Amino acid sequence: METISKETLVGQLRDLGVRAGGVLLVHMSFREVRPVEGGPEGLIAALGEALGPEGTLAMPSATGDDETVFDPATTGNRDDLGIVADLFWRMPGVVRSPHFDAVSARGPKAEWITGGPFVLPPAAPESAIDRIRQAGGQVLLLGVGHHANTMLHLAELVGGAPYRSDFHYIDDAGREVHYGENDSCCEKFELADGWLRAEGALRAGRVGHAEARLMEAEDLVRIAAAKVKADPLIFLHGADEDCEECDEARESL
């Protein structure tokens, strides 16, 4: 496969609608994007160039380890967030939230986005995810579906989704703290794609070799929260569909 140059990547990002000076939250599978000039670092550089010096780049940086105290300087990302996000939080100039449900960011709004209050469930109003929305941010899905689109967990909460599955983390004193999280298998998050397209709120294209989708966080939360408000269980598989995670969510009601 052809290696995509950094210049082409920047052009693809701009054509898709990534705004210079904006805030951009990226969820990606590098396997879908590659090969690109400079590898994962080259892709991060292209994202930075498309955003320009006044732009802020953000990526998910939560841990998958709920048995140890989270240390933002040493605790790795959850495996499924991919190698680019795991490389990004370790880079100079990147800041990371000081709690397990972390976001990492670089740029003028990075401190504000990652420095907000620790709220539960993850992605609740005032979380880093919500601050990305408040900052007029965009969400970019690179080679991944909406199941990876964390902003939809905020939309669930805003829309009043009632289910909560049991999760825990270890606090600074070493205690196991339980909390309820609006979680499911997230497969049905893909519904958001059609909702956004119907309102002309989704831009699709190609970045590197990956299918890329870009949306305004504000549009996504507004549109999806309205759907959840109308049908609070819209993101859960039905009881007859044999989905363990969605069943657990439904059993919490």
Residues in contact with Zn ion by CB under 5 A are 185, 237, 243, 246
CB of 238 to Zn ion, least distance (A): 9
Extract the tokens encoding 19: 């705004």
List C-alpha distances in Å: 46 to 12, 42, 94, 205, 207.
10, 6, 16, 16, 10
* Closer CB to Zn ion, 155 or 185, in the complex: 185
* Closer CB to Zn ion, 133 or 250, in the complex: 250
CB of 241 to Zn ion, least distance (A): 7
Extract the tokens encoding 238: 């039905």
Say which amino acid occupies 170.
Answer: I
CB of 65 to Zn ion, least distance (A): 24
* Closer CB to Zn ion, 153 or 237, in the complex: 237
Structure-token match 């070493």, residue found: 174
CB of 217 to Zn ion, least distance (A): 24
User: What is d(CA 240, CA 144) in angstroms, rounded to the nearest whole number?
Assistant: 27
* Closer CB to Zn ion, 109 or 237, in the complex: 237
Cβ(182)–Cβ(157) below 8 Å: yes
The DSSP call for residue 3 is: P
